[in-house]
Amino acid sequence: MDTLFLSDIHLTRERPEKLRLFIEFLHSPAARRAAAVYLLGDLFDYFWLGNDDHTPPVPQILKEITDFTRSGSKLFFMRGNRELVMDRGFEALTGCIMLDDMTVIDLDGRKVLLAHGDVLCTRDVKYQWYRRFMELGFIRKLFLSLPYVLRTVLVNGLRPMMRRSADRKPPEIIDVDQAAVEDAMRGNAVWEIIHGHTHRPAVHRFNLDGHAASRYVLGDWYQEDSVLLCNGEGKRLMSIREFLATS
């Protein structure tokens, strides 16, 4: 059976065509009959406000995911940098199964490491400090305890500043560090890793301690879109339209 991996979909009302494409994907027979669908973070384009988030199109997205899981299809979700404050309540909202970052799964008899990808960008020191701060349990609880309107104001105020900061960073800073990738793979005793975050879809082959290793990078949905199709025949990175047309 097929196993499907997606990341960095960045759904927003500003790109309704991508929202329609994501819904079409969830409704497709190919996705419904897959062994599992993995969303590896940044499903939303805006910072997650909490389980009471009703910023359009969030309610519609949650309904579509819920319909997907209620149909009997299995969906796993890993938080990305847009969902750092998301808690396990998201499982109850949607019926998905939440995964911790850096989770090892069995995929067709092989151990594979899954990550959103941001923790591997170790050269971006300021971001790593920010991520660790936002991951603190009391910070998450404090933010989610604020009135919804205040959370919205805070996020909307921070968005331009964070965008400017990202735009000023050189490409090598915001890409993953190969040494961090190899350390993560060694630490989890795997030869394959699948991640997103960098918006640079590719398949990287390299040697790790005398073993053939692979790093599969999922694409974002800003301009293009991608899905990694995995089955007994191998792994194939393809566009959503190609997947829908050939599956």
Q: What digits encode the pLDDT tens for the residues 78-108?
A: 999 999 999 999 999 999 999 999 999 999 9
pLDDT, position 162: 66
pLDDT, position 246: 81
Break the chain into its structural domains and give their ranges. Answer: 3-246
pLDDT, position 160: 72
Domain 3-246 has CATH 1.25.40.10: no
DSSP string, the chain: --EEEE----B-TT-HHHHHHHHHHHHSHHHHTSSEEEE-S--BSS----TT---TTHHHHHHHHHHHHHTT--EEEE--GGGTT--THHHHHH--EEE-SSEEEEETTEEEEEE-SGGG-TT-HHHHHHHHHHHSHHHHHHHHHS-HHHHHHHHHHHHHHHHHHHHHS-HHHHSPPHHHHHHHHHHTT-SEEEE-SS---EEEEEEETTEEEEEEEPPPSSSS--EEEEETTEEEEE-HHHHHHH-
pLDDT digits (tens, 9 = 90+) for 185-213: 999 999 999 999 999 999 999 999 999 99
pLDDT, position 174: 83
Residue 167 predicted with pLDDT over 70: no
How large a percentage of the chain has pLDDT more than 70?
Answer: 96
pLDDT, position 164: 65
pTM: 0.95
Mean pLDDT of all residues in 237-241: 95
pLDDT, position 131: 94
